[in-house]
Chains A and B, each alone.
Chain A
């Protein structure tokens, strides 16, 4: 039997380096990259890199051999090769100025077909939904792009179309769950068929020229090429699931993809938002079939009241409440507010929305409509205000959605300093630092009352102080008045003057009596003291409580624990150290945040107090001035 050579079997044959893969596929690096992106083939991390690389220890990009063999049978490999041939032939035609042939060739441009790849990468629809995050984020980004060298207008136009369609689906299905304004963009999370789909809508206007090293648009464009196909099929299925016509039909006045709209960026964007404000055509002609039976609660309850079921029930109730959160509310968006995210938000929770018709198309009602309940404003002040509506800042909507209830609007009024905007994506039961605002959200009764009581106590103190101060003021004023009175009295002289002197005398007598009594009391005291001492001698003294020094005990415990920690098995020692270090950094982080918060709170409190004191001082001064005037 032949003795097997090294690296002829096992891991070494499982992996293939990129170089070898390219050679095997007979493609250029660019084509290979394109193929990998489209087919979703990625490098693998071998278990033993050295073995997988046939003994060399430098880090190479390794692919699974089976993946590469799989690529070998892909039909688009031929299309990629056709591209190359096409490029050669057309360039030849161009060079010899054979324009007729060139025209013919250009018409026969080899189109790449990706449908089968979508099916192959996502065998079930749920798989596709699971992977929709990156897809949507990238499409939303590309839908805002201008026409670039590597990104044709058609592509960003298609992106725009697909994202609008998706947003329409989200609005129609009311599947939006969480929203968040980050410094990077607006995060949206929808729950579609049980899958959480999160995407980012960048702040306006995300595009800026990038150097080649920073961002390679070519690569992103290839991703988008695939993602548009994926999103298209996903949209198709989603729309059909809701009995909506696909492609969606918009009001004819909107969204005309002619050349003019392509050129004008502003109208391009505004059209896109306008489209969101209209209902879509349905195939089944049944308007708003309302509540669909989500989970049959009764059926579940029969199984038994386990905690999980209760939780599910609560969740379902919350969601149903969320879906109709803005129902019956009418919003008007001022022109300085970014409309797109707000329109999605309001429309998907049942609200009605409009904006200034003179600035952007698609408005459904005017600003002077008396039935508007909320006007969303993002400026410090507004000249004309209606009494019938609340002027709120856009954060209110986001916070409402995240807390799944309509919040009081007074914190969000025009020009008000906003409360912190918290992320809805953090785990509320995590063991790291939780800011007090979040604590208040989860346990409003306890924390708020606590805070209130604290505040109250503080306020009480402050009030007391204030009251005292006021009292003093009053007293001073009274004193003044009294002195004035007496002065007047002395001036003019009164019949009661003599009586007053008598009263004084009697008071003096009383005092003398008191002194005598005191002497008597002292004698009595000595006797009792003696008795008491005697008693004390006989009595059983109460035992002293032995106080345990908590700190020492704690220290001893820590020492003990440390000693035990030294008994960790040698093979676990590094892991143990790592874990401990992680834990320590986490704790440190938490401690730092807590400390910062404490300092900030203290500062604000101090500032408040100072302000109050200042105010009081002013009041006192004013009072004094008034008193002087009186004088």
Chain B
């Protein structure tokens, strides 16, 4: 067939027709291009010529409106408010001095100061606006509008500003926003979602959920005149607002917590023991996130950073402390589960325990006498737990501590979480190159030594005891409320500012993680619960001060020695210099039979858990459960 294809005229004609068809397609295609070129160059040419001569197309980014943040009850905690910025074009403000004089009378600063502001921005061309004052009040704006004829060259710009309504309240949790840094820009993945000058969450929830909160910026192509003023908008794509967050936080409880720890260095965590929702998370001293919004001066930042009580540190999540006697909960459970002790095991405490060539003292010099594990918890007997720890050994003890969530991050979606430290024999060999000394296990068993925990980890541990052995993952968001249809926010998209696991768990149905159920005997846990119930309610409990009429509280005190003091040093706490005084702990839950709130309180250098920390927990429980007693 093919060989003879061209031999007859019929085939030749068939081929010619196909070719003509192809030529027609080619001619039509090129005609479209010619027509388009004629349109661009001949018909609209003059307009494009004008545009090209001024090089006057500018791109403007339209910032999206950032999502709002509410507490669990729907109280608005973070919103955006309009901020008015005062600007002045020097070239148009003629006569300049007179204009400044009039302006000075309205906004209550001297004309000289305004002049200084102008001179400090010399690099701004005379025909472009100079920023005179940021965020002036509404009355001033109104006055300027009214007198605009007398104020040539003066203008007021509106921008949206982040506002933390309750100021310092929950500052460590909410975080703050700021302009994206060079480093953060470089770190973002290939898809460029952030541009220089964008505002980005820097800390706390603002950072962890930045992707969700920020929305999608829009853009605008504008034509500007020689003075840089927009003459015409050529093309505009509106911004998409970010989604709103509903937190698990109880704003009232949060404020109460902060009130209680004002003036001291302390941290408080309150959470729902069953679901892990953070009810309050406070650190003291704190900071006002509003000061970060407009940019912070170097000296203000230095003051925050160099403060001895570290206001920028989220102590509840970042602070690492020796757990002290609160750790006896771990030792008790480990001892019971491993069969080292049982409910009836009784140990005599003479006030000291000789081990090796050392004497390990009980905090009560006269001794506690003979007691079982419940009473040992209740009276926080050191000698009892020295012996339990000795029988367990360091590694078995560490196993239970880790099961309870110590020694690693809890998974709370806040950055810079500390993992704490639960030592093992292998860890010490690796870290210091020397074998474990058995005496160290004794210190560990009462929460001293290398042990380090965060207040949040202790709240999780307390929750696990309260809820019957489930280690929950703490969460801060109860609901994501996208403004756009849900598909718009892509869950799991990585955040350039670092790991952001929380975004991955953003789908509302994934919010309630079941937690990790521990496979311990319920009766052993019941023994521990009974023991710490007696801490508050027993006749000799160490935290009887925390008793509350109308609701039963269970808890455990702790007094943690500060690094730098010798292990086992005696002497009165109150004689020691303030920063060497022991840290005070109290972990608690209530009501004891059906817990609704679990609390962990740490007071730096608070000396005694019972005196400094327990009353704080009591007041929080009173506030949360609304007990009048």
B is a partner of A: no
- Measured CB to CB, the residues of B under 8 A from A are none
